[in-house]
Structure 1
Amino acid sequence: MVTLWQRLAIVLLLLVCLVLGVVTAIQGVHSEAVVLVAGKRLPAVQSVPELSLETHKGDLLSHSIWAGRWSLVFFGFGSCPDYCPLELQKLAGLMRRAGDPEQLQILFVTVDPERDTRDKLAAYVGFFHPHILGVRGPNSELARLASFFGASYERSVIIDKRLLSVPAGIDMPENAGPAYQVNHSNQLFMVNPRGEFVAYFSPPYEPDLLWQDIQNLMAHAR
Structure 2
Amino acid sequence: MNPRRVWLAVYAVAITASLGLGVMLSAQQFSAAPPLDFVQQLPAPKALPEFSLERHNGKIADANVFRGHWSLVFFGFTTCPDFCPLELQKLGKLLNLMGAGDDLQVVFVSVDPERDEQEKLANYVGFFHSQIIGLRGDNSALAAFAQFFGAAYDRSVIIESKLLSVPAGINMPTNAGDQYVVNHSTRVFVVNPDGEFIGSFAPPYEVGDMLSDMQKLMSR
TM-score, normalised to structure 1, is 0.90
Aligned in 2, Cα 1:26/1:155: closer, same or farther, shift over 3 Å? farther
- Superposition RMSD on alpha carbons, in Å? 1.9
* 1:18 corresponding residue in structure 2: 17
Kindly tell me the number of residue pairs found equivalent between the two proteins. 219
Which residues in structure 2 correspond to 1:47-196 (within 5 Å)?
47-196=47-196
Cα distance between partner residues in 2 of 1:31 and 1:51 = 33
What is the CA–CA distance in structure 2 between the aligned matches of 1:130 and 1:53, rounded to whole Å? Answer: 19
| Residues 51 and 63 in structure 2, CA contact (< 8 A), matched pair in contact too | no
Shift of 1:30: 3.5
Counterparts of 2:13 and 2:152, CA distance in 1: 52
SS in 1 for 2:102: coil
Whole-Å Cα distance in 1 between the matches of residues 218 and 200 of structure 2?
Answer: 14
Whether the 8 Å contact between 1:52 and 1:141 is mirrored in structure 2 is yes
| Cα distance in 2 between the residues matched to 1:169 and 1:34 | 39
- What amino acid sits opposite 1:105 in the alignment? Q
| Counterpart residue identity of residue 29, structure 1 | Q
Distance 1:202 1:211, change over 3 A: same
In 2, Cα distance between equivalents of 1:83 and 1:25: 46
2:19 maps to a residue whose letter is L
Does 1:212 find its partner at 2:212? yes
Deviation at 1:13, TM superposition (A): 4.2
Instruction: Indicate how the Cα distance of structure 1 residues 162 and 34 shifts in structure 2: closer, same or farther if over 3 A, else same.
Output: same
Q: Could you tell me how far apart the structure 2 residues matched to 1:25 and 1:150 are?
A: 37
Ranges in structure 2 where 5+ consecutive residues have no aligned partner: none
Q: CA deviation at 1:159?
A: 1.2
